[in-house]
Amino acid sequence: MNSSGRRNAGKVLLGVRLAVLCAAVSLAGCSTGKRTRLETERGPAFPQGYLSSFYDAFHGMYLADGLQSPRGYDALVNSYPDSAEAHLLRADAYVKYGDYSEARKSIDRCISLDATNALAYAKRAEIKQLQRMPLDSVLGDERRCVELDSTNASYAQQLLFHLHDAGKYDECIAYALRHYAGHEEDGVADVVLSSCYLSKGDRKLAKDYIEKFATRENAMPWLNGFALMAAAVLNEGSLIELFYTREKRGGCVSARDMAIYQSYLKHSGKFGDAFKEGVAMVSECEYDASDIERLLQSISPIGILDSVSMAEGLAYADVLLKRYPRVDAVLGFAEIMYRKVKDNTRTYELLRRVAERDSGDFLRWAILQEFEDFHANVDGKWVDRTKEDWKNAAQAYPLSRWNELSATQRYIMKRFPNALVATQYLAKLYDVTKSFEAARDTAYHYIDYYTGCMKRAGKQDTVYYHGASWEQKLPAQRAYRKTISALHAFVGDLYMSRDMREQAYKEYQKGLKFEYDNTILLNNYAYYLAKDSKANRLKEAERMSKRCVELEPKNSTYLDTYAYILYLLGEYQKAKGYYAELFSLGEVQSAEVYRNYSDLLEAMGSKTSAEVYRMKAAALEQKQR
């Protein structure tokens, strides 16, 4: 049969199915052109169970034929508005469709028509959970459900578990003892009672019930996972082994339970067994990303390397990479393993994959950049870079080879205009090369680069800026201005390290033009002006320092600078108040704070107290050496 024939045959079959269903339940919209009775009048009542016999076929039709709406059930309740069963069917259809509001309307109507229908209360409890309503409201329906049908095990179990989850341990215990008296063989009461007693702090009774569960020959298999958790809390190794072995009989165990078992093995010193169990389960079973993360946390790479060979550890990493190539935790785990065996080329590939999976995650790219900083790519292979290699590479960046920065560094600079990335690199360059000129000239290249970015950026453009939070999106122009300001501050600090004060002050002024509220720049500039007796700019320093304190009132460094400037201006009481605020923040970590405060106390005539703080300064310096 050709494709056209198959399509026509499908239409005929669908038409037959629709015709049969229309004849059976008189659904609206199913006629071949004529108006049906359902469209013109409400149908009579029908025997209980009449509609249920058609439910599976009717619901299957709506799903299988792509009619992604249960509106046929709307017609059904319009035709039979006083049928509790019709409203129950409509509620179930709308639950499957994901419209819990409509489902709730129908189930409420169903219960108003038949207040003795246990299934309706069970369905309403389910809908309330899907609507994320308080558990107490759910429990009300479940209690009523059990009252109406006390023989239904699933209703009883649902109530029991929800009483436990709601923290109603006394009611849960009483219900379990009452309802399950005489038929405890399924093990439900044992597990729930053990967990309730654990929550109440009664470890003896908790252990008694979990041991009873261990003896049940006909216990429900799905309870082994819950029993395993209780055994883990009780730290009962033999029971952990028993319940985990039972759960494995059913095939794959949950990631949660395997992590519990591996943790037990690790604490028992059986790292090799934990590793082998992980390999076996991950090789045979399918887990989602969150499960894999949990499993990898339960087997640390250090534990693996202490207990198995390098080859086994790498083989496990390769199994994970093959089965879960897009799970970040797997990439990170494998990267650690390859880094341990100094396979730099494979490590770099994995780091790049981790970074490229989230182009907006600064930390991933920073880790990749750090790897590149300390390794060199030689003929496609990454080798350890010596200090001399790094020095030569760093010296080559200024001026002549600026355009040869790594692709990673250029990406970071553009994607994350960022004072921290730039200044950390510059500080490292200065530390390694000891070259003032290299650090200064490279900083100017950064400034030129970001000035160009700022000019090209549109008013609506945004970029990531690594500032107060790891991923803070800002308007592009503002982010570039903040970065340029920080770079001028860095150059200013470089000049101050050479005691080139006038050049430093010019750089600070340039930085403030791009962002006046750069607190690091304001504080340093104010402090250097205060210490510069020739500058005669104390009032200007006081304004800048005060702004820092306004922006960050709990920053002890900024409080110290402002209090010290107030002291120099002769405002002793005001300065003492800010020092008191500084000391209230916690332990002082700077000897200079104590020295500044001792100068203030001496100026106020408290020479004995001043000496005490000088001694504190000396003691702190000695401790920090």
Whether 239 shows a pLDDT value over 80: the answer reads yes
Structure tokens at 121: 């209360």
Rounded CA separation 443/432 (Å): 15
Q: How confident is the model at residue 36 (pLDDT cuts 50, 70, 90)?
A: very low
Structure tokens at 285: 């079973």
User: What is the pTM assigned to this prediction?
Assistant: 0.48
Structure tokens at 334: 């494998």
Q: Is 80 left (phi over 0), alpha (psi -120 to 50) or beta?
A: beta
| pLDDT at residue 503, rounded to an integer | 95
Rounded CA separation 337/332 (Å): 9
Whether 391 shows a pLDDT value over 60: the answer reads no
- Residue 463 φ/ψ, nearest 5 degrees: -140, 165
User: Which superfamily does CATH assign the domain made up of 534-625 to?
Assistant: Tetratricopeptide repeat domain (1.25.40.10)
Secondary structure of 104-148 in HEC code, one letter for each residue = HHHHHHHHHHCCCCHHHHHHHHHHHHHCCCCHHHHHHHHHHHHHH
Rounded CA separation 58/75 (Å): 13
Q: Report the C-alpha dihedral over residues 510, 514, 516, 518, rounded to 10 degrees.
A: -90
Whether 403 shows a pLDDT value over 60: the answer reads no
Ranked by mean pLDDT, which of 20-24, 65-69, 173-177 comes out on top? Answer: 173-177
Nearby residues of 585 by Cβ (< 8 Å), 6 or more positions away: 554, 556, 559
Mean pLDDT of 189-199: 90
Handedness of CA 337, 341, 344, 345 (dihedral sign): negative
| pLDDT at residue 524, rounded to an integer | 95
**Can you give the C-alpha Rg of the chain in angstroms?**
36
The residue count of the chain comes to: 625
Rounded CA separation 331/327 (Å): 7
Q: In one letter, which amino acid is 599?
A: D
Whether 34 shows a pLDDT value over 50: the answer reads no
DSSP 8-class letter at 469: S
Tens digit of each residue's pLDDT (9 = 90 or more) over 610-625: 999 999 999 988 888 7
Structure tokens at 113: 């028509």
Tens digit of each residue's pLDDT (9 = 90 or more) over 554-600: 999 999 999 999 999 999 999 999 999 999 998 888 899 999 999 99
- Residue (of 192, 165, 188, 189) closest to 177 by Cα position: 189
Average pLDDT, the chain: 78
Handedness of CA 281, 283, 286, 289 (dihedral sign): positive
Is residue 128 within 8 A of residue 141, CB to CB? The reply is yes
Rounded CA separation 13/237 (Å): 60
Q: Is 426 left (phi over 0), alpha (psi -120 to 50) or beta?
A: alpha
Tens digit of each residue's pLDDT (9 = 90 or more) over 329-344: 788 878 877 877 788 8
SS3 376: strand
Mean pLDDT of 158-180: 88
Q: Report the C-alpha dihedral over residues 484, 489, 494, 496, rounded to 10 degrees.
A: 150
Helices (H), 200-309: 203-215, 224-234, 237-249, 255-267, 271-284, 289-298, 301-307
Structure tokens at 176: 């379990």
Residue 189 burial (CB count, 10 A): 25
How distant, in Å, are the alpha carbons of 111, 206, 430 from that of 192?
30, 9, 64
| pLDDT at residue 7, rounded to an integer | 36
Structure tokens at 472: 């803070």
Q: Which residue has the higher pLDDT, 308 or 595?
A: 595
Helices and strands in the chain: count of H runs, count of E runs: 34, 4
Secondary structure of 552-612 in HEC code, one letter for each residue = CCCCHHHHHHHHHHHHHCCCHHHHHHHHHHHHHCCCCCCHHHHHHHHHHHHHCCCHHHHHH
Structure tokens at 47: 């025997």
Tens digit of each residue's pLDDT (9 = 90 or more) over 491-508: 999 999 999 999 999 999
Whether 189 shows a pLDDT value over 90: the answer reads no
Whether 473 shows a pLDDT value over 80: the answer reads no
| pLDDT at residue 351, rounded to an integer | 84
Ranked by mean pLDDT, which of 226-230, 464-468, 556-560 comes out on top? Answer: 556-560
Mean pLDDT of 346-366: 77
Report the range of poorest mean pLDDT among 398-412, 428-442, 608-622. 398-412
Whether 458 shows a pLDDT value over 90: the answer reads no
Rounded CA separation 529/565 (Å): 10
| pLDDT at residue 66, rounded to an integer | 40
Q: Which residue has the higher pLDDT, 449 or 393?
A: 449
- Residue (of 572, 497, 502) closest to 534 by Cα position: 502
Beta-bridge mates of residue 384: 375
Q: How is 360-375 classified by DSSP, letter by letter? A: T-HHHHHHHHHHHHTE
Is residue 508 within 8 A of residue 493, CB to CB? The reply is no
Whether 10 shows a pLDDT value over 50: the answer reads no
Is residue 567 within 8 A of residue 575, CB to CB? The reply is yes
Whether 21 shows a pLDDT value over 60: the answer reads no
- Residue (of 332, 239, 256, 323) closest to 290 by Cα position: 256
SS3 345: helix
DSSP 8-class letter at 464: E
Is residue 494 within 8 A of residue 439, CB to CB? The reply is yes
All CATH 1.25.40.10 domain ranges of the chain, comma separated, are 534-625
Whether 546 shows a pLDDT value over 60: the answer reads yes
Rounded CA separation 513/491 (Å): 15
Q: Which CATH number fits domain 17-114: 3.40.50, 1.25.40, 3.40.1170, 1.20.1070?
A: 1.25.40
